Structure 1
Amino acid sequence: MRLLLSLALIPGLFGTVGVSAADLAGMLRLSPANPHYLEWRGKPILLITSGEHYGAVVNLDFDYAKYLATLEAAKLNGTRVFLAYREQPTAFNIAGNSLAPKPDRFITPWIRSTTPGYFDGGNKFDLERWDLAYFERLRDFVKQAAGRGVVVEANLFSCFYSPNSWQTHPFHASNNINGIGQAPWDEVLTLKHPTLVAAQERYVRKVVEELRDFDNVYFEICNEPYIGGVSREWEVYMTAVVADAQKMHPHPKLISWNIANNTAKVVDPPAAVSIFNFHYAVPPEAVADNYALNRVIGDNETGFRGTNDAPYRMEAWDFIVAGGGLFNHLDYSFTAGFEGGNFVYPATQPGGGGTELRRQFGVLRNFIDGFDFVRMRPDNSTIVGGVPGSHTGRALAQPGRAYALYFRPSLITRFSVRWTGYIEVPATAEYTFYTVSNDGVRLWIDERPLINNWTDHSEKEDIGRISLQAGRPHPVKLEYFYNGGQAVMKLAWSRPGQGSEPIPATALLGPQRERDGLRGEYFAGPNFDRPWQTRTDAQVNFAWGTDSPFPLPQTGTPGPLELALPAGAWNVEWWDPVSGRVVSGSKVEAKGGRVSLAWPSLKDDLALRVLRP
């Protein structure tokens, strides 16, 4: 183990040992011209896609050939696939989850034994024997993807979100005949259980060997390790295993780490890691926070922002024009039986997707492919004025040659609120308090903590109970932070014999016992350290979604957009990101280092292409 751990820290680990110059030029690798992007088959490539929920291989009912053909037809060029992880049918409230196979339709690297007892029926797995049919299916999936111009992110592991999540895996002791996996769910992906680690390493080496000859694969070590139960030491170790297993391969694969939801600063990463992926990267701060790493920064999962197209279209454009090198929308219109991407999911689905959204992602790809993007860098200083307060703008620049700009409605993505005051109850009784939140929530009444779920999470109800007396006010403090997704914060109550209801304004008093509401102190960011606004909220019963808690500045016809451009002639095209139509085009002359451009329209989002003639 000590030897392998050291491998991850060797700079230039992916050298050319055993690899010809021709093979090196054709493989998926960091672009030699700009390592913020990938190169594949000798050409720079931006991965922009809208893929299924990762079950294309492990779910035998999923027709991956039809799915890959759908991606190719939409001119999308990537997909994620989980190699051994699955979910229970009710996980995350996903209808038609392709990662939740029906009983006996779950195929894994390990063959089934003759011993019954797998968690949802069927026989247990034998971790000492490989299932050849699985590897044939995996190789065929990757081969067909390669033929259709699709790069595969092969995800080796995923965190386990709960004991129920761990219960489904072949590594769980109750699901195999080898006595392996006697570990709590939050220690499975650590180095605490050597027998389990050894089984994991055998699996990793087998997968790496099976995919050795393909040029369209990179390995992600673990999906969402930051959720919990995954140690950094384990992740570094498995990174070293992958690197060691393929050091003599003709196409050594890139390795990616999944860093965080939204953003985080990557600190002291192993040299073997070339791609750093984030989830729900809105706004795309993850790119700027980590651009100095000179590696690909990706946004490889979206969701929890409703089922409409606009939030995900804007997320993609924002991320790519910020300098991101990879975008993967999680598309719930793909599932077993609907591999053409036409599944009609319910409004409660935790994300969106569909034919129209995939077409819009194709518009983004057409736009960005019109540039020599490996020569470009993010440079918002190109925009010197004229963006109304209702919108944000960003620019990707090849100075003196080409500029890609994108403007979208302002989006409040992180804030926190502290409500304080008093509550009066109509009768002495035990009261049940309910919070529904996305994300973190804490509630105190009579200075007693009732609810504490101070975590990033999707919409969730939490409950606390306390006995309260009528005739006197009881101090209340409610804290909330929003870190992305669909912002929700609701406070309700009930007493014996009655159903729950939002707490009415008549029961809420401010800190000075003023009537009809709690004082709400709003802060920019999730940490209560940047005061924003203060107001009285008659009730706490909010479903903001991705809207601001406060009205954004409204503008009429905005003034001209001011750009800093070198002197000379420029061709200007305004693009509609929805239709892909050029809504306005002109030739302008930059004088004195500036150009003023009239907005064609600014209802939603707009893209701008500026090129030398």
Structure 2
Amino acid sequence: MSKPIRIHPANSRIFEFRGKPLVLVCATEHYDAVMNRPFDYARYLADAHEKRQTLTRLFMLFREQQSHCNPYSTCKPESPDYVAPYLRVGPGKALDWQPQYDLDCDNPEFYERLHGFLSLASDYGIIVEVVLLSNTYGDNVWMLNPLNAANNMNEIEPIPWMEYNTLRHQKLFERQLAHVRRIVMETNRYDNIIYEICNEPGGNFAGNAHHPSKEEVDDWQKAIARTIREVEADLPNKHLIVGQEAFIYEPWEQCSDLSFGEFCIDVVNMHPLPNTTYGGRGYNMGEFMSKQLRLRELRDYCLATKDEHKPLNLDEDNVASQYKDYDGWTIHRKRAWMTLISGCHYDYIDFSINIYLETGTPASQKHIRTWMKHLSEFVHSIDLAAARPLTDVVKEEPINTVTSALGIPGSDYCIYIADERELTEDGSGEWIAASRLCVDLPEGEYLVRCFDPVSGLYAPALCMRGGAEMWINLPDFRHDLTVRISNISKLIGRREGGSYNGNGYAKCRHGMGVSIEPQL
């Protein structure tokens, strides 16, 4: 077995896995592929591999309830179908009316499914983010947790839900540590995993005397991270720890400066939400299940952190995931492209994937799942170890659009151009016609091509000479378009990605390529 996935030694914003640069990108099921018994994870992983998805998340303990704005999913199994790490032995009843758990008895079915999932994901080269613990959010969700005192026979302290992610209760904390040690020891053999401490940790709830502070929750996270390190100290493999500092409930703020600093994580997971703060500024990246686009704010947050030495994963994007339709999927396609071309990583929950629908629906296969495949193939055709976000290439962008550029100066430039108008604004989704892009390039001869994020095809290429303020006439397009500018001398002896077949480039969705305005 090769060494586990690590931060790339030549580019600290991406990863190296099995000797190759890697960006994490996925439209993934809702993280309970192991714990939801009817879910056929082999079918799901086969499709994820075919779609070139490089990441999936996996909850180790957490399950939740369906709500008015959070669709039914694999994370909400029926109680008889929930496969926990512990055996249900009874005779007493848990709060879901199933037998109580014995926390001293491992559940063989859980570990059989866990190893089956991780082994198959490893065969496919898919990274698995193993999520050890989670926020419990409220009484209704806390009632489902095996570590709730009412759900087991092991004499844990009964606690308010908000004290779960703290060091306040010794018996509970020891059970959390035992769970973490067991999972880490059981999974250390795999090279395709990373560990997340806690999904969505939070503190500082105004007006509630029981609610822990942000600092108290972060102290608990540090203790979990130390335990992971201690367990792995005597094991063959050392894995990356991912996560985020605790957010503040009231007034809402998702801080990230500490996460990028000396906090106990190697990779920063941030859920793209309103008032995500960094460097003294708040970024409104869209409200939960709102069908908002907020593309410029998302781009600006990614670029603001570009000089940090930890990778940034925009994890669990749910801005429009409730809407299993063309508009919702288009929003997530655009946010995924903007995130990756801004030098970060992206995870979107695809709620079309569920039990008995492990590859999604025919519509999601045609749209979001195929679009994400095109994105993964495109971004991995770039020399990622050498590529960086380029903030000085685009001098002027078309009206109503926002752009981002990733590439290697003088060699390869990938410029993503997207309509930034919200669905509620006039003109959203209409054709952007007769538009121009102004770029600065070093001297040299370049090929300029359009790439279509929907069809995954390149349009025919044109040649241009580099220089300051070069104007490129774009084809008419809807929603988004990518322009790739490649130094011809760097292409000699190479065949690039896209649809090049030795005889030219297939036409993209927009039916035509770029044209170059002559310099005066």
What TM-score, normalized by structure 1, do the two folds share? 0.68
Q: Any gaps of 5 or more consecutive residues in structure 1? A: 1-21, 345-352, 413-545
1:574/1:564 CA distance change after superposition, 3 Å? same
Q: 1:320 aligns with which of 336, 340, 351?
A: 340
Match of 1:361 in 2: 372
Q: Secondary structure at the match of 1:155?
A: strand
Q: Which of the pair is proportionally richer in strand?
A: 1
Q: 1:250 aligns with which of 233, 236, 246?
A: 236
Match of 2:316 in 1: 301
- Deviation digits for residues 39-58 of structure 1, max 9, x if unmatched? 11111111211110111011
1:77/1:243 CA distance change after superposition, 3 Å? same
Match of 2:451 in 1: 575
On the 8 A contact 1:114/1:124 being kept in 2, the answer is yes
Does 2:252 align with 1:266? Answer: no
Q: Secondary structure at the match of 2:43?
A: helix
Match of 2:219 in 1: 233
Q: Secondary structure at the match of 2:479?
A: coil
- Deviation digits for residues 293-319 of structure 1, max 9, x if unmatched? 311101121223233321000000000
User: Which residues of 2 match residues 386-425 of structure 1 at below 5 A?
Assistant: 387-411=397-421
On the 8 A contact 2:94/2:100 being kept in 1, the answer is yes
Q: 1:105 aligns with which of 60, 81, 98?
A: 81
Q: Any gaps of 5 or more consecutive residues in structure 2? A: 206-210, 274-284, 286-297, 489-520
- Deviation digits for residues 534-590 of structure 1, max 9, x if unmatched? xxxxxxxxxxxx545x889x9974453111100010111111111112134211111
Distance in 2 between the 1:555 and 1:316 partners?
21
Amino acid in structure 2 at the alignment position of 1:332: F
Q: Secondary structure at the match of 2:302?
A: helix
Amino acid in structure 2 at the alignment position of 1:340: T
Match of 1:17 in 2: none
Distance in 1 between the 2:157 and 2:62 partners?
15
CA shift at 1:93, angstroms? 4.2
Q: 2:349 aligns with which of 310, 317, 330?
A: 330
1:300/1:343 CA distance change after superposition, 3 Å? farther
On the 8 A contact 1:404/1:608 being kept in 2, the answer is yes
CA shift at 1:271, angstroms? 5.7
Match of 2:516 in 1: none
Amino acid in structure 2 at the alignment position of 1:288: L
On the 8 A contact 1:376/1:396 being kept in 2, the answer is yes
On the 8 A contact 1:47/1:78 being kept in 2, the answer is yes
Distance in 2 between the 1:556 and 1:210 partners?
53
Distance in 1 between the 2:335 and 2:233 partners?
36
What TM-score, normalized by structure 2, do the two folds share? 0.80
Distance in 2 between the 1:408 and 1:602 partners?
9
Match of 2:470 in 1: 595
User: Which residues of 2 match residues 48-127 of structure 1 at below 5 A?
Assistant: 48-88=25-65, 90-91=66-67, 93-127=69-103
- Deviation digits for residues 17-38 of structure 1, max 9, x if unmatched? xxxxx95xx3200000101001
Does 2:292 align with 1:292? Answer: no
Distance in 2 between the 1:328 and 1:94 partners?
17
Distance in 2 between the 1:311 and 1:566 partners?
34
Distance in 2 between the 1:408 and 1:53 partners?
27
1:56/1:566 CA distance change after superposition, 3 Å? same
Q: Which region of structure 1 is more displaced relative to structure 2, 295-304 or 278-287?
A: 278-287
Does 2:152 align with 1:176? Answer: yes
Amino acid in structure 2 at the alignment position of 1:601: D
Q: 2:394 aligns with which of 380, 383, 388?
A: 383
Match of 2:109 in 1: 133
1:162/1:285 CA distance change after superposition, 3 Å? farther
1:85/1:329 CA distance change after superposition, 3 Å? same
Q: Which entry has the higher C-alpha Rg, 1 or 2?
A: 1
Distance in 2 between the 1:248 and 1:82 partners?
25
On the 8 A contact 1:390/1:555 being kept in 2, the answer is no
- Deviation digits for residues 198-251 of structure 1, max 9, x if unmatched? 110010000000001000000111111137667111111111111111123222
Distance in 1 between the 2:447 and 2:254 partners?
35
Match of 1:607 in 2: 482
Amino acid in structure 2 at the alignment position of 1:316: A
Distance in 1 between the 2:450 and 2:343 partners?
20
CA shift at 1:367, angstroms? 1.4
Identity %: 26
Distance in 2 between the 1:46 and 1:134 partners?
29
On the 8 A contact 2:432/2:477 being kept in 1, the answer is no
Distance in 2 between the 1:343 and 1:607 partners?
26
The CA RMSD measured in Å over matched residues stands at 2.4
User: Which residues of 2 match residues 338-487 of structure 1 at below 5 A?
Assistant: 338-342=357-361, 353-385=364-396, 387-411=397-421
Distance in 1 between the 2:55 and 2:91 partners?
38
On the 8 A contact 2:434/2:475 being kept in 1, the answer is no
On the 8 A contact 2:400/2:421 being kept in 1, the answer is no
Does 2:300 align with 1:280? Answer: no
CA shift at 1:603, angstroms? 2.9
Distance in 2 between the 1:330 and 1:309 partners?
11
CA shift at 1:181, angstroms? 4.0
Amino acid in structure 2 at the alignment position of 1:210: E
Does 2:17 align with 1:40? Answer: yes
Q: Secondary structure at the match of 1:164?
A: helix
1:184/1:295 CA distance change after superposition, 3 Å? same
On the 8 A contact 2:432/2:478 being kept in 1, the answer is no
Q: How many residues align?
A: 443
Amino acid in structure 1 at the alignment position of 2:243: W
Q: Secondary structure at the match of 1:392?
A: strand
